């Protein structure tokens, strides 16, 4: 368990470092949310001074950071000036939507990329392998913003898919089957953009990992003994390439999370992306810090899950730390 304990400690140190740097850079950035309130003639200077004193705008940064840590322990995560409420409920509600989007995209991407990469590795140079190489190369050079705008244009022209939001009007009155169908329709476009933006890198790494495993001496010896290709692939080659594929899983989660913030803004998905953009534009400090830190938590959790899987499937890691 020393391996997992060390990984967990590294995740905590990462979260601490990100929180310190995000809070410091946000606090040192010019301007503040209350500065825009000066333009309102109905708000007196005395009211602004009272608000600055109440929310410790002019207090030293270390003191404000210490008070923010206390609010995080309480679950408030600071106070949002724009929404006039604690930050915690705001970002947790949005984080659930982001988690739904990224987890759906991750499952769909791996279900699509894994068999494609395995098939291309088994039959290199065949038409399917060349087609996958061409498609992945084409997707690699096209930004996800271009893909998102193109899919939005197609959806507008066809009129068959919703082009924004998470659910339709009157969603609460739908049956459970209608709710599932409506949510799936709203998920289709953003999930497609995320899968398309990460598919090329993922399928190339899977193909390389499976090809390397198929060329190992023990796989060649097994093939010489007449073991069927399907059994070699699923029983031996896939296990032999588990280490790089599981490491790739953690990287893909981080890639999807970073891409989802932009896709959510373009697709009007009510996740952390639009909230983060609005908070940056309005200089809502604690919402910015909370959204970035929560995104880092999701990224660290994905990498820690991949570490758990590596610890489970690779006996070399367990034996190394037992000694």
Question: 101 exposed, middle or buried (CB, 10 Å; 0-12, 13-18, 19+)?
Answer: buried
Rounded Cα gap, residues 182 and 167, in angstroms = 6
And the tokens for 226?
């007449």
What was the pLDDT predicted at 184? 92
Rounded Cα gap, residues 68 and 90, in angstroms = 16
What was the pLDDT predicted at 164? 82
What was the pLDDT predicted at 318? 64
Superfamily of domain 91-322: MetI-like (1.10.3720.10)
What was the pLDDT predicted at 98? 92
What was the pLDDT predicted at 185? 92
Query: Among residues 215, 262, 256, 270, which one has the least CA distance to residue 237?
Result: 215
| Beta-ladder partners of 86 | 79
Rounded Cα gap, residues 101 and 95, in angstroms = 10
What was the pLDDT predicted at 168? 87
What was the pLDDT predicted at 108? 93
Rounded Cα gap, residues 57 and 55, in angstroms = 6
Identify the sign of the CA torsion 113, 119, 121, 126.
Answer: negative
What was the pLDDT predicted at 264? 92
Q: What is the 3-state secondary structure (H, E, C) of 78-146?
A: CEECCCCEEHHHHHHHHHHHHHHHHHHHHHHHHHHHHHHHHHHHHCCCCHHHHHHHHHHHHHHHCCHHH
What was the pLDDT predicted at 183? 92
Please tell me what DSSP assigns to residue 75: T
Rounded Cα gap, residues 273 and 258, in angstroms = 9
The set of residues, in sequence order, having a beta carbon less than 8 Å from that of 72 and lying 6+ positions away, is 78
What was the pLDDT predicted at 319? 66
Taking a C-beta distance cutoff of 8 angstroms, is the pair 294, 272 a contact?
yes
* Positions in the chain short of pLDDT 50: 322-323
What was the pLDDT predicted at 258? 81
**How many angstroms separate the Cα of 317 from the Cα of each of 72, 241, 311, 314, 323?**
35, 15, 6, 6, 10
Residues of the chain within CATH 1.10.3720.10 domain(s) are 91-322
Query: Among residues 103, 84, 95, 142, which one has the least CA distance to residue 269?
Result: 95
Taking a C-beta distance cutoff of 8 angstroms, is the pair 142, 231 a contact?
no
What was the pLDDT predicted at 190? 93
| Beta-ladder partners of 56 | none
């Amino acid at each position: 368990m020393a391996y997992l304990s060390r990984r967990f400690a590294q995740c905590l140190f990462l979260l601490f470092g990100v929180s310190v740097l995000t809070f410091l850079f946000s606090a040192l950035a010019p301007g503040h949310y209350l500065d825009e309130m000066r333009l309102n003639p109905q708000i007196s200077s005395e009211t602004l001074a009272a608000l600055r004193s109440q929310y410790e705008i002019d207090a030293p940064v270390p003191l404000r950071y210490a008070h923010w840590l206390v609010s995080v322990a309480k679950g408030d995560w600071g106070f949002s000036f724009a929404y006039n409420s604690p930050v915690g409920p705001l970002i947790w509600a949005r984080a659930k939507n982001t988690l739904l989007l990224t987890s759906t995209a991750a499952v769909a991407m791996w279900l699509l990329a894994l068999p494609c990469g395995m098939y291309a590795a088994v039959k290199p140079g065949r038409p399917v392998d060349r087609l996958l190489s061409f498609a992945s190369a084409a997707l690699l050079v096209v930004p996800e913003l271009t893909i998102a705008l193109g899919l939005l244009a197609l959806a507008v022209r066809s009129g068959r898919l919703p082009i924004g939001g998470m659910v339709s009007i009157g969603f609460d009155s739908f049956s459970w089957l209608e709710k599932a169908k409506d949510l799936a329709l709203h998920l289709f476009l953003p999930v497609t953009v995320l899968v398309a933006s990460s598919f090329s890198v993922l399928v190339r790494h899977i193909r390389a990992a499976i090809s390397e495993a198929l060329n190992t001496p023990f796989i060649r010896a097994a093939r010489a003994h007449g073991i069927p290709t399907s059994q070699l692939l699923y029983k031996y080659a896939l296990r032999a390439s588990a280490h790089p594929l599981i490491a790739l899983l953690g990287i893909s989660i981080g890639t999807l999370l970073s891409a989802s913030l932009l896709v959510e803004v373009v697709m009007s998905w009510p996740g952390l992306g639009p909230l983060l953009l609005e908070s940056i534009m309005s200089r809502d400090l604690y919402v910015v810090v909370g959204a970035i830190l929560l995104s880092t938590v999701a990224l660290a959790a994905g990498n820690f899950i991949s570490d758990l899987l590596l610890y489970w499937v690779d006996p070399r890691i367990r034996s190394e730390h037992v000694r």
